[in-house]
Amino acid sequence: MAAKKLLILPGDGIGVEVMAQVRRIIDWMAKKRKIEFDISEGLLGGAAYDVHGTPYPAETLEKALAADAVLLGAVGGPKWDDLPFDKKPERGLLGIRKDMGLFANLRPATVLDALADASTLKHDVVAGLDIMILRELTGGLYFGEPRGIETLPDGTRKGFNTLVYTTPEIVRIGRVAFELARKRNKRVCSVDKANVLECTVLWREEMIKLQKEEFPDVELSHMYVDNAAMQLVRNPKQFDVIVTENMFGDILSDCAAMLTGSLGMLPSASLGAADAQGRRKALYEPVHGSAPDIAGKDMANPLATIMSFAMCLRYSFDMATEADMIEAAVKAVLKGGLRTADIMQPGKAKVSTTVMGETVVRELDKMV
């Protein structure tokens, strides 16, 4: 079998620290399971700006398009906050998502048994939770035109962005949602703001039409985004798949992360359209950012990134066995009582990023 081409973009801040733990697992896979990865590293975000003067070098996109999958840590940080807008690290991330056509961002919020008491919410509200937030990733308010900041003739300044979706954009994300639901509990909740925003009136109409025409076996419901934010903390288990606009999904997924115990627990997969062979361009990354407040302290939780790698094995490389092994190893480490600071609980042992990564590998070792 040809080696699987993996591009690793550690990025900035804790991105570098958590990605180092994934490298341990990749090395383990090569040594203990003879799985060959053809790995290259690239620069994105602040790290790229420091070397190339741009957060998004052309060679990073070239490498990403040539890879079978991309793994990303996180980008951004105070060091680059005052740069002009188009040089900010976040522009690199948004650019690569758009240029790779990664319109479907899967953000699964799963509460692992060992962490059912780690959430700020009550045990019964979150125990056993398994929901999928599907965030549209290359359209909506993040990418709509016109956008910008202008000065009007009277000197008033005006800042503006545009919420826009076309029917093909709505239908393609809708299809992913219904297909995901078919493999789960067959329920899709489409989250919009159709009481206020015309764009999401269209979104709702298209979801209804799509369900009727192609997915009558899947139940479709609708919810306004403000209510959805409230329902996520009131009774998250009512959801199966949530599908929503780009910015709504950004906000709701951080909120869902806290159901699982920490932002440091939420992995994600960003997928493009399937080609004739069923292959999709894909980038895997934790939902969290570069966490400047804890960067450089070896205290970040690497599990979201480790589980993003498991998603990579599952979705891009058809390696369900190895993905299962990684997820089982993560569960075993947590069951054994190790916690990074963000998920620390009374009576448990607080460990560093490095020790958490090493212990996941030790658990993998027990499986072969």
Sheet holding 4-11, edge to edge: 37-41, 4-11, 69-74, 280-284, 269-274, 104-110, 130-136, 241-244, 187-192, 219-224
Read off the tokens for 48.
């790229």
Give the residues across from 349 on adjacent strands.
338
What dihedral angle (degrees, nearest 10) is formed by the CA atoms of 261, 263, 266, 272? 160
For ligand IPM, which stretch binds (CB under 6 A), given 4-12, 47-55, 87-95, 182-190?
A: 87-95
Q: What angle do CA 118, 119, 122 make, to 5 degrees?
A: 110
Q: How far apart are CB 95 and ligand NAD at their closest, in Å?
A: 12
Which of ligand NAD, Mn ion, ligand IPM, none has residue 242 at its interface (CB below 5 to 8 Å by kind)? none
Q: What are phi and psi of 41, to 5 degrees?
A: -110, 150
Check residue 192 for interaction with Mn ion (CB under 5 A): no
Minimal distance in Å, beta carbon 135 to ligand IPM?
Answer: 8
Number of residues that bind ligand IPM (CB under 6 A): 7
Kindly identify the residues of this chain, within the stretch 241-280, that bind Mn ion according to CB under 5 A: 250
| Least Cβ distance, residue 297 to ligand NAD (angstroms) | 10
In the bound state with ligand NAD, the residue whose beta carbon lies nearer, of 232 and 299, is 299
Which tokens sit at 252? Answer: 């709701």
12 is catalytic: no
74 in contact with ligand NAD (CB under 6 A): yes
Which listed option, ligand IPM, ligand NAD, Mn ion, none, makes contact with residue 322 (CB within 5 to 8 Å by class)? none
Which of residues 60 and 359 has its CB atom nearest to ligand IPM in the complex?
Answer: 60
Extract the tokens encoding 270: 């960003």
Backbone angles phi, psi at 155, to 5 degrees: 95, -10
Q: How, if at all, do strands 187-192 and 219-224 pair?
A: parallel
Residue 245 to residue 142: CA distance in whole angstroms: 10
Q: Which residues are catalytic?
A: 142, 193, 226, 250, 254
| Bind-site residues | 77-90, 97, 107, 135, 226, 250, 254, 289-301
Which residues in this chain contact ligand NAD in the complex, by CB under 6 A?
A: 14, 74-77, 90, 93, 262-264, 285, 288-294, 300-301, 304, 342
Which residues in this chain contact ligand IPM in the complex, by CB under 6 A?
A: 76, 90, 93-94, 250, 287, 289
